[in-house]
Copies of this chain bind each other. A is one copy, B any other.
């Protein structure tokens, strides 16, 4: 079921690797950019990513992998962006501003571009004049690790252009991936970003010794906080109990795979923010997201106690045990 259009994936991490795997169920070829030349060489020779999901084998001739960002983007009509949000701006800066002209860009980033306090969709629109009809989001709930294991998973594809949403949904769907679509580009991406901040809170509380009863209350409060914030930032009709919002929050908040939760857990156990960051080889997206959400909230000014508490722990050196006790008193 190839669409005839060519597709490129930008990024070399576990989620990028999982997306390449999914796309190859339907696409004849995927163009794949990653920064790391050693990884590119390894993939060319051994047909798997040496650093992430290395059990996933890629059929020879079906991937075109390179460190040449410009060439990879130019080779494709549809671009899937899976670069950690903190690196997007510096990665794209050398490119021509018109490089995405007439291309459709799907973000699977789930993070905020810190330089602009913008979700990737808005960043692409503002910086590269990509029309919102040509910007989409690939949302979970979906751990890359379970895609590698071909465990049944559901993705939601958001795009204001229904045809483009359906096209990407069809490209990703396969035996173990079910897809659905929505027009809610802002809501799904902001919610996906926000859940990483919540996952840090889950981790901190877990590290402090709070139990499962409390985690359930935290998540119940978190989805209401996300709803308040997203409805204020982008007031369209949505049901945050859907998989793309609540499901995505659950899979991250309850997961031991989540780097954000792991990061929070270290803070709860008494490690400093600096030390916890150095210990982790992956980026905890929620670290940047907490700051950007508070920044975005200056405009809409809704009650966001969980994000505020995480921000204070991360940026204002407030003691996690104290801050989280104050937050717990606000939950219902």
Does B332 lie within 8 Å of A212, measured CB to CB?
no
Q: Report chain B residues within 8 Å CB of A254.
A: 212, 216, 254
For the side of the interface on A, what is the size category? 35 or more
Contact of A219 with B154 at beta-carbon distance under 8 Å, contacts A211-B146, A212-B143 already known: no
| Interface presence of A227 (CB below 8 A) | yes
Q: Which residue of B lies closest to A226 (CB)?
A: B241
Contact among B154, B251, B329, B331 for A212, CB-based, below 8 A: B251
Q: Is A213 an interface residue (CB 8 A)?
A: yes
How does the 8 Å CB contact mask read for A226-254 relative to B, with 1 for contact and 0 for none? 01000000000001111100111011001
Report the minimal beta-carbon distance from A19 to chain B, rounded to whole angstroms: 14
Known: A220-B250, A223-B246, A224-B241. A153 touches B255 (CB 8 A): no
A152 on the B face (CB < 8 A): yes
Inter-chain contact A243/B255, CB cutoff 8 Å: no
Q: Is A241 a contact of B213 with CB atoms below 8 Å?
A: no
Within 8 A of B (CB), among A130-189: 140-143, 146-147, 149, 151-154, 178, 180
Interfacial chain B residues near A154, Cβ < 8 Å: 213-214, 217, 331-332
Verify if A272 is at the interface (C-beta below 8 Å from B).
Answer: no
Measured between C-beta atoms, what is the minimum distance from A56 to chain B in Å?
Answer: 16
Q: How many copies does the complex hold?
A: 2
The verdict on A26 contacting chain B, using a C-beta distance below 8 Å, is no
Q: What are the residues of chain B within 8 A of A140 when measuring CB–CB?
A: 213, 216
CA–CA, A242 and B225, complex, Å = 11
The interface residues of chain B lying within 8 Å CB-to-CB of A255 are: 212
Least CB separation from A257: chain B residue = B212
> A178 contacts which chain B residues (CB < 8 A)?
328-329, 331
Chain B residues with CB below 8 A from A211, complex form: 143, 146, 149, 151-153
What chain B residues lie within 8 Å of A142 (beta carbons)?
Answer: 213
Distance A170 CA – B331 CA, assembled complex (angstroms)? 17
CB contact between A152 and one of B141, B214, B219, B251 (< 8 Å): that residue: B214
CA A109 to CA B141, docked complex, whole Å = 33
Given contacts A141-B213, A142-B213, 5 further A-B contacts (CB under 8 A): A141-B216, A143-B213, A151-B214, A178-B329, A217-B243
Kindly list the 6 A-B residue pairs having the minimum CB-CB distance in the complex, ordered from nearest.
A151-B211, A153-B213, A220-B247, A141-B216, A216-B251, A216-B250
